[in-house]
Amino acid sequence: MAPYPFSAGDKSFPQRQWYIAAWSQEVVSAPLMRKLLGHEIVLYRTAAGQVTAVSGLCPHRRMPLASAQIVDDQLICPYHGAAFDAEDRCASLPFQSKIPGAMRLKSFVVEERAPFIWIWGGDPASADMTCLPDTTSLTAPGGNMVLSGFGLKHVRARSQLLLENLFDKSHISFTHPVTLGIRTTSDGPQQSPEVIDRHNYLAFHHLSPMRAPDATMRAFFPDIGPFMRVEYRAELFGVGLVNAAGTECISCDGNGACLTVAGRMNFLHGITPETDRTTHYFMAVSRDFAPENEDYTALLGERNRLVADEDIKVLEAIEPYLDTADARDEPNFVTDAAAIRVRRRIEKLLRAEALVPLTDLPTPAETV
Ligand code: FES
Ligand SMILES: [Fe+2]
């Protein structure tokens, strides 16, 4: 049976895609060992600043290279001293000149686009730069976005649960009543969101009703007009980066017409499979207002971590029951439409990799 929630293939995430391997600042001139996409991997930075990713177990006796020394850009195995260069080759052995052919590490394709280090999950020859997400809108529109609240959590649940959860607003009142507040049905979007669906990018946008800015908004944006609206966005970049609950505070005139964007804030969620059943959850916040307000920076980061913990608790409770689950047996609510659209997008990629036809994709939730 296909891994939940998919209906074909035997993988729970697409392999030939880009995923976040690390934050830029995590990778230095010492090994960072992390299991990514089912592989034990060591990441490190060469003297020239280039990020390198190779398999993290020495082929001789499986010594983890997490504690390897790096000398002249070479990883030195801490068990018997084999030296591996940045191209994954064994360059030297301490006690013999002949190097066995199997003394190689596997290298992985990585691409640094700060603050992210991306890794290609397929074999190196298949690396496709057209699938690398363009994240400039999240981190540097106009060059004035402030990034903060960097975090990484380990989740004992499959990556698809985290992805879909980030496109499901209907759980907020029940999973996050204190951190995000109770929402009534009248708080939610009254109209269907605008959907943007293109290669490597899927987004849902909606504008809140017009309201007068409260004291907090006026403090942040002294020039804001008499009314404001908030644009809520849920965006999927590639298959592993979500900007959810992103907001733009938009100053409006009395007729609700948008005048200017007063401020932008993004909540970044990097979802990278560790294995078929566990996930690395990267998080950060970016905003283009009040950069000097350290209290606000700290508050945003802390609230983001608390919200993530609440989601993780729910998803880890569900995961143990999924090995025998078939999503085709599940009812869907109207509010599941965005998450189901994400699921179908991932499933299409999985089917393409498994060479399974698209013809019998399950009925989308929008029609339920
Ligand atoms: S385990 Fe690495 S050289 Fe022996
Ligand atoms: Fe949540």
Q: List, for residues 293-348, the tens digit of each pLDDT value.
A: 999 999 999 999 999 999 999 999 999 999 999 999 999 999 999 999 999 999 99
| Tokens 């993004």, located at residue | 266
In this structure, the answer to whether residues 272 and 252 fall within a common structural domain is: yes
In this structure, the answer to whether residues 119 and 208 fall within a common structural domain is: no
Spell out, as residue ranges, where the chain has pLDDT lower than 50: 185-187, 189, 365-368
Assess contact for 242 and 203: CB atoms under 8 A. Answer: no
Query: Is 297 part of any domain?
Result: yes
Ligand 1 pocket residue status of 313, Cβ below 6 Å: no
In this structure, the answer to whether residues 311 and 215 fall within a common structural domain is: yes
Query: Is 6 part of any domain?
Result: no
Q: How many domains does the chain have?
A: 2
Render the burial of 234-256: b for 16+ CB within 10 Å, e for the rest.
bbbbbbbbbbbbbbbbbbbeeee
Assess contact for 141 and 272: CB atoms under 8 A. Answer: no
Residue 80 alpha carbon to ligand 1 centre in Å: 5
In this structure, the answer to whether residues 94 and 143 fall within a common structural domain is: no
Ligand 1 pocket residue status of 77, Cβ below 6 Å: yes
In this structure, the answer to whether residues 242 and 105 fall within a common structural domain is: no
Query: Is 195 part of any domain?
Result: yes
Assess contact for 207 and 229: CB atoms under 8 A. Answer: yes
| Tokens 């938009």, located at residue | 250
In this structure, the answer to whether residues 204 and 344 fall within a common structural domain is: yes
Residue 358 alpha carbon to ligand 2 centre in Å: 30
> Residue 284 sits in a domain of what CATH number?
3.90.380.10
Residue 79 alpha carbon to ligand 1 centre in Å: 5
Q: List, for residues 131-175, the tens digit of each pLDDT value.
A: 999 998 887 756 688 899 999 999 999 999 999 999 998 999 999
Ligand 1 pocket residue status of 82, Cβ below 6 Å: yes
Assess contact for 142 and 261: CB atoms under 8 A. Answer: no
3-state secondary structure of 174: helix
Query: Is 8 part of any domain?
Result: no
Query: Is 197 part of any domain?
Result: yes
Residue 63 alpha carbon, nearest atom of ligand 1: 1
* Domain final position from 127, 147, 180: 127
Shortest-distance Cα residue to atom 1 of ligand 1: 61
Ligand nearest to the CA of 166: 2
- Tokens describing residue 329: 């047996």
In this structure, the answer to whether residues 71 and 212 fall within a common structural domain is: no
Ligand 1 pocket residue status of 60, Cβ below 6 Å: yes
Ligand 1 pocket residue status of 285, Cβ below 6 Å: no
- Tokens describing residue 158: 């499959």
In this structure, the answer to whether residues 66 and 143 fall within a common structural domain is: no
Ligand 1: residue of 62, 67, 80, 95 to mutate (most ligand atoms within 8 A of CB) is 80
Distance CA 149, CA 267 (A): 10
pLDDT of residue 368: 40
Residue 358 is part of which domain span? 133-367
3-state secondary structure of 186: helix
In this structure, the answer to whether residues 153 and 262 fall within a common structural domain is: yes
Distance CA 176, CA 245 (A): 13
In this structure, the answer to whether residues 36 and 175 fall within a common structural domain is: no
Query: Is 7 part of any domain?
Result: no
pLDDT of residue 246: 67
> Residue 96 sits in a domain of what CATH number?
2.102.10.10
In this structure, the answer to whether residues 117 and 142 fall within a common structural domain is: no
Query: Is 179 part of any domain?
Result: yes
